[in-house]
Amino acid sequence: MTGLPFTPPDLMAYHRATRAEIDLNALRRNLGALRSALGAGVGVMAVVKADAYGHGAAACARAALEAGAASLGVGIIEEGIQLRESGIRAPILVMGGISGSEIGDLLHHDLATTVYTQSLVQAISKQAAQAGKRPRIHIKVDTGMTRLGISTNDFLCLAENAKNLGNLEIEGLCTHFSSADEEDDDYTLQQLSRFEAALGQLQTAGIRVPQIHCANSAAILKYPQSRFNLVRPGLILYGALPSPALQPYLEPVFGGEPPAPVMHLKSKIILIKKTARGTPLSYARKHVTRRDSLIATLPIGYADGLARSLSGKMQVVVKGKKAPQVGAVCMDMILIDVTDIPGVQVDDEVTLFGGQGEQRIRVEETAAWAGTIPYEILCAVGKRVPRVYDV
């Protein structure tokens, strides 16, 4: 025993200089704007998979439901179970489907799942009969993503089989667009046409399906005809756009402005060094100062999800001014050049993306610097970065 005071791990995390501030009111505003634009006939399934794209699934799920979401979408069954264990009772769809070994958990936790094989439908029905349950299924049709889903030639047979089994509730018909965020419309319109044809076959066969959904964030904005009676927003709820090509389509939903960012990734300066011209910085000495400089150290690195590909490319905000990141991104630290920022001091707050005063760095910018997409930047923010919620 050392006799030193013990700080519980959760409190220790909140003392960390690096943190992700989560503005749940921004999420509520984004969802509220979306619902207003959709009108009364279209419901919202808020997508909270991948820990709500790194924002914290339980907190974001509650905020989305408070703002009027009708249901929640997760990627894998464990995510649905975690939401149930956090006390959320709203309808939850496992969008990525399940394996046969997960059927018991699906039934026990009252989750819905997508289905796309006859064998899975049969297995769910068999276990449901044994358990005295009537699970909800959403038939996923592959219209061109070529990932999950049953072919348009075979889906009607699956739907009829599911109906005839008698103990499955066919709650939804869905598909997923591969290219809705691209400028070229052709492929998305082909997918939509195939989906509409499948829906027509279902109706002709007399199989009633209450939820029809295929619109992701991009399609909600760009293809209003794809909304049907349920949409699945993900990235736009968290304040980012899947692609710059969607900018012209913001007016009807967000009044021409991008959705409000929900995550603000921040850190603090822990050291400032006066550095002479010609000094190499960080690993591999790929950056050498070209003038006498002030170089500040931040306690955040690629172990926190800050991609190493951002090395020497990104900017941050300090005291309301932008400053360049310099040298290699390390596991636990980065360096920034604060030479041109008057009055900078240790403990000054630094924003890596999000807002600080009048300055803002959108996560889309960070993604462009890293050569990736905003989804990856948000999802990569590591578990050792505490989420601090503004509720």
Half-sphere exposure of 292 (CA within 13 A, CB side): 1
Q: Determine the Cα–Cα distance for residues 226 and 228; give it in Å rounded to an integer.
A: 6
pLDDT of residue 15: 79
- Is residue 96 within 8 Å of residue 114, measured between CB atoms? yes
What is the CATH architecture assignment of 41-249? Answer: Alpha-Beta Barrel (3.20)
Query: Mapping DSSP to helix (H, G, I), strand (E, B) and coil, where does residue 391 land?
Result: coil
Q: Where in the chain is the domain with CATH 3.20.20.10?
A: 41-249
Catalytic residue, chosen from 49, 140, 266, 268, is: 49
- Is residue 171 within 8 Å of residue 136, measured between CB atoms? yes
Q: Where in the chain is the domain with CATH 2.40.37.10?
A: 263-390
User: Count of CB atoms within 10 A of residue 136's CB?
Assistant: 19
The string of pLDDT tens digits covering residues 143-174 is: 999 999 999 999 999 999 999 999 999 999 99
The pTM score is 0.94
Digitized pLDDT (tens) for each residue of the chain, 391 residues in all: 344 554 445 555 567 999 999 999 999 999 999 999 998 999 999 999 999 999 999 999 999 999 999 999 999 999 999 999 999 999 999 999 999 999 999 999 999 999 999 999 999 999 999 999 999 999 999 999 999 999 999 999 999 999 999 999 999 999 999 999 999 999 999 999 999 999 999 999 999 999 999 999 999 999 999 999 999 999 999 999 999 999 999 999 999 889 999 999 999 999 999 999 999 999 999 899 999 999 999 999 999 999 999 999 999 999 999 999 999 999 999 999 999 999 999 999 999 999 998 899 999 999 999 999 999 999 999 999 999 999 8
Catalytic residue, chosen from 126, 274, 283, 286, is: 283
Q: Determine the Cα–Cα distance for residues 280 and 289; give it in Å rounded to an integer.
A: 7
Q: Determine the Cα–Cα distance for residues 7 and 376; give it in Å rounded to an integer.
A: 32
Instruction: Please give the CATH number for the structural domain made up of 263-390.
Output: 2.40.37.10
49 is catalytic: yes
CA dihedral 306, 310, 314, 319 (to 10 degrees): 30
Q: How wide is the angle at C-alpha 381 spanned by C-alphas 342 and 326, nearest 5°? A: 35
pLDDT of residue 14: 61
